[in-house]
Chains A and B, each alone.
Chain A
Amino acid sequence: MIGTATVYGLCASGLVAIGLYGLVLHPTPLRKVIAFNLLGSGTFVLFGVAARRGGAAGFLADPVPQAMVITGIVVAFASTALAVALLLRLQETGASSIETTPPEQQDNGAS
């Protein structure tokens, strides 16, 4: 017999696993950003599970983790926006990937 919380917990771990895989192994930055969002979603679901389990004391659910998830979503949104802005900027400068040229080869890079 598997409870609802366990099913959601497994979903959360699945999302985290997919996100982590993408974040570490995908070479393209945009995919990394999307993978980060999956990873974040997994974490938020986990907070939901914690809320559900904490709600055993008469409430439907513990409200504190839900408040945290809202904050977390805002933060994740801001991170995504910043990452996408940087990506667009990178595109404008004509770079094709995140791989940096070896710093030793850069000349007069004095700030």
Chain B
Amino acid sequence: MMPAGYATSEGGALLVIAVMLPIVGMIAIFALGLRRAERIAFIILPGGLLIALAIAAEVARTGAAVTYVLGGWQPPLGIALQADGLSATLMVLTALILCAVGLFARGTFSTPPDMSEARRPMVFWTLMLGLWSALNTVFLGQDLFNLFVALEFLTFSAVPLVCLDGRRETVQAALRYLLFALIGSVFYLLGAALLYGAYGTLDMAGLRLQAHYNPATSVALGLMIVGLMAKAALFPLHLWLPPAHAGAPAAASAVLSALVVKAPFFLILRLWFDVAPQPGNQLAAQMLAWLGIFSIVFCSIIALRQVRLKLMIAYSTVAQIGYLFLVFPLVMASDAPSAWQSIGWTGGVLQLVSHALAKASMFLAAGLIAEALGHDRIDNLNGAVTAVPISVAAFGLAGLSLMGLPPSGGFVAKLMLLTAATETANWWIVAAILVGGILAASYVFRVLGRAMAAPKIGFKTLAHIPLHRELAVLGLAISAVVLGFVPLQPFAFLGIGRVGLP
């Protein structure tokens, strides 16, 4: 009856540090004075990256999940933190993107010398750190209630980032985002209550051992997945995302689009493969994939019609998230011995990672273009290439990944998904991936064509962009491209520590 016990493994303390380090940073900002916010963040950022890398190295070295049991209390009373191959990958990804965004934001969110304390920089840096801690908790948590708290922490960090500049539209967007997120979390909590009532534990490993098909389990998982869908902005629950992500400052948009919407998807993935009774429900998987297909086609078309660059990128985020939800039927229909050995699973994770890198780069590039030109209307982008050449190049490289053109992580990911869809004869998914690629190419080239065009007479750059900011953007885009050189096969690392593997 009781789930197999967890045991704190060697290096388990790293997991606690990964969660706590950003929080220590937040407290330090309040304790040492808000003026030092940026400096403190720049101590925490590389530290957190090192911790994430150390966890990944530990997982790779031992070939098993790294575990920490809080206070030595076994579930169901205690809670456990665990990093398997997938969580470790996502933690490194998070740390990399946050470091690049930190580099990008350096100087733009510092306190002006003539003021003792300013609200914007303090809020930006503390929320970034809070968001990081929340993301790490989502990736590590093994207890569904603990994950609820982590998700809420994530929402509370993300919502104020949307309305940092306090304009009316951004406050409206933030409020709408908050309401959607709250509906999502209540649904999630409702599902958790039902699961607790049915099984007496919320520990994932414990639930996996006991879960079987009955109405309570189906309703609970359904509620939780729908709630998480609202947070992940899957069609038709995506309405909050474009205004929120487009209205935020570029550095915040990058993090929101690249990382924050991935956390609920990660949880859906875990609920589906680690908690739900296996084999999963075929109909539900098909439904998720269909919503994904609608996201891809519908939101790509809307992206194509946008007037403003940031809104176009935001709609593209919804479309690219749609690809992630194609994973469920592909993995279930595959004849690989376990889910994480199938090509669809690897393709889905790679899509998540490459989209995160590409989209972060794209939003940052759009931010720099807007700073240099003073606006981000796509029809007036002429001359952007002379003003901020590196950013436009980064935009193009990141675009490769979104379209799925080689060499890029997006290409390998989409090729894997396409292969999986062909193998399992899911022809609608094949069609959606192909159409999505063409649409993405259209909206990326529309921007590039304008940005490359000769500047109008009287064109002048409004602001000079420091080189280090452009290089941070280019670095992200290049990493998305470099991902295109990974071998076309399921990665063993992503399977480490997953259920059923020795």
Interface of A toward B, CB cutoff 8 Å: 16, 19, 23, 29, 32-33, 36, 39-40, 42-43, 46-47, 49-50, 53-54, 62, 64-65, 68, 71-72, 75, 78-79, 82-83, 86-87, 89-90, 93-95, 98-101, 103-104, 106, 108-111
Contact = CB atoms under 8 A, between A and B. Distances in A.
Nearest to B373: A110
B197 A110 contact: no
Contact of B178 (A23, A50, A65, A83): A83
A36 B183 contact: yes
Interface string B195-218: 011001000000000000000000
B250 interface: yes
B359 to A, nearest CB: 16
Contacts of B183: 23, 36
B370 interface: yes
B97 interface: no
Interface residues of B, number: 55
A100 B190 contact: no
Given A82-B156, A111-B367, A36 B186 contact: yes
Given A36-B183, A43-B190, A75-B152, A100 B374 contact: no
In the A-B complex, the 5 residue pairs with the smallest Cβ-Cβ separation, listed nearest first, are A110-B370, A50-B197, A93-B168, A46-B193, A86-B175
Given A93-B166, A100-B243, 16 more contacts: A36-B179, A40-B186, A43-B189, A43-B193, A71-B145, A72-B148, A75-B149, A75-B185, A86-B159, A86-B175, A99-B172, A103-B243, A106-B169, A110-B310, A110-B376, A111-B253
Contacts of A109: 169, 246-247, 308, 310, 376
B249 interface: yes
B248 A103 contact: no
A32 B183 CA distance: 10
Contacts of B152: 75, 78-79
Given A32-B179, A111-B250, A90 B168 contact: yes
A108 B462 CA distance: 14
Interface of B: 76-77, 145, 148-149, 152, 155-156, 159-160, 163, 165-169, 171-176, 178-179, 182-183, 185-186, 189-190, 193-194, 196-197, 200, 242-243, 246-250, 253, 306-308, 310-311, 367, 370-371, 373-376
A31 B189 CA distance: 21
A110 B371 contact: yes
Contact of A103 (B163, B200, B311): B311
Contacts of B306: 104
A67 B92 CA distance: 33
A89 to B, nearest CB: 5
A39 B308 contact: no
A71 B193 CA distance: 13
A110 to B, nearest CB: 4
A103 B242 contact: yes
Nearest to A16: B190
A11 B124 CA distance: 42
A62 B201 CA distance: 11
Contact of A110 (B156, B175, B374): B374
B163 A108 contact: no
A47 B163 contact: no
28 contacts: A23-B183, A33-B179, A43-B186, A43-B193, A50-B196, A54-B196, A54-B200, A62-B200, A75-B152, A79-B155, A79-B182, A82-B160, A86-B175, A87-B175, A89-B166, A89-B171, A90-B168, A90-B171, A98-B176, A100-B173, A100-B176, A100-B243, A103-B242, A103-B246, A109-B246, A110-B310, A110-B373, A111-B165
Given A46-B197, A53-B197, A79-B156, A89 B169 contact: no
A32 B181 CA distance: 13
A17 to B, nearest CB: 12
B221 to A, nearest CB: 16
A95 B173 CA distance: 12
Nearest to A36: B182
A106 B156 CA distance: 27
A98 B374 CA distance: 28
Nearest to B153: A75
Nearest to B244: A100
User: A19, A33, A65, A100: which has the most chain B beta carbons within 10 Å?
Assistant: A100
Given A23-B183, A101-B169, A86 B375 contact: no
A91 B130 CA distance: 27
B249 A111 contact: yes
Contacts of B182: 36, 79, 83
Nearest to A9: B197
A108 B310 CA distance: 11
A108 B160 CA distance: 22
A86 B179 CA distance: 11
A68 B159 CA distance: 24
Nearest to A97: B172
B173 A108 contact: no
B308 A50 contact: no
A32 to B, nearest CB: 6
